[in-house]
Amino acid sequence: MTAGVSSSSTEDAFSLERYLDHERKGVEAALEAALDRLLPLLPPQVREAVRQGVLSGGKRLRPVLCMAAYRACGGSDREGVAHVAAALEFIHAYSLMHDDLPCMDDAPLRRGRPTPHAVHGEAPTVLGGGALIPGAHLHLWRSASEMGLPPAACRELVAILAQAAGAGGMVGGQALDLLGEGRRLERDELDGLHRRKTGALLTAALSMGAVAARADSQVRKALEDYGRAIGLAFQIADDVLDATADAQALGKNPSDAELDKSTYVALLGVDEARGEARRLVRLALASLEGGGVESPALEALASYVVERER
Residues that bind a second copy (CB under 8 A): 38-39, 41-43, 45-46, 94-95, 98, 101-104, 121-124, 126-131, 133-135, 137-138, 141, 151-152, 154-155, 158-159, 161-163, 165-168, 171-172, 174-176, 178-180
Instruction: Closer to a second copy by CB, 154 or 280: give it.
Output: 154
Instruction: Closer to a second copy by CB, 53 or 124: give it.
Output: 124
What's the closest the beta carbon of residue 56 comes to a second copy, in angstroms? 19
What's the closest the beta carbon of residue 70 comes to a second copy, in angstroms? 22
CA dihedral 220, 223, 227, 228 (to 10 degrees): 70
What's the closest the beta carbon of residue 92 comes to a second copy, in angstroms? 13
What's the closest the beta carbon of residue 214 comes to a second copy, in angstroms? 17
Whole-Å CA distances, 293 to 125, 190, 227: 40, 30, 13
Instruction: Closer to a second copy by CB, 38 or 215: give it.
Output: 38
What's the closest the beta carbon of residue 136 comes to a second copy, in angstroms? 9
Instruction: Closer to a second copy by CB, 109 or 175: give it.
Output: 175
Instruction: Closer to a second copy by CB, 118 or 300: give it.
Output: 118
Residues in the chain: 310
Residue 114: in which H helix or E strand, if any?
strand 113-114
Whole-Å CA distances, 227 to 113, 213, 220, 233, 283: 29, 17, 10, 10, 10
Count of CB atoms situated within 10 Å of the CB of 39: 18
Alpha-carbon span 120 to 115, nearest angstrom: 9
Alpha-carbon span 20 to 41, nearest angstrom: 32
45 by DSSP, 3-state: which? helix
What's the closest the beta carbon of residue 90 comes to a second copy, in angstroms? 11
What's the closest the beta carbon of residue 14 comes to a second copy, in angstroms? 36
Alpha-carbon span 208 to 224, nearest angstrom: 10
Instruction: Closer to a second copy by CB, 126 or 243: give it.
Output: 126
Instruction: Closer to a second copy by CB, 82 or 204: give it.
Output: 204
Alpha-carbon span 150 to 156, nearest angstrom: 10
What's the closest the beta carbon of residue 279 comes to a second copy, in angstroms? 29
Whole-Å CA distances, 187 to 199, 263, 273, 275: 15, 9, 12, 15
Instruction: Closer to a second copy by CB, 212 or 281: give it.
Output: 212
Alpha-carbon span 210 to 74, nearest angstrom: 9
Nearest residue to 49 (alpha-carbon basis) of 98, 85, 89, 92: 98
Under a CB-based contact definition with an 8 Å cutoff, are residues 53 and 132 in contact? Answer: yes
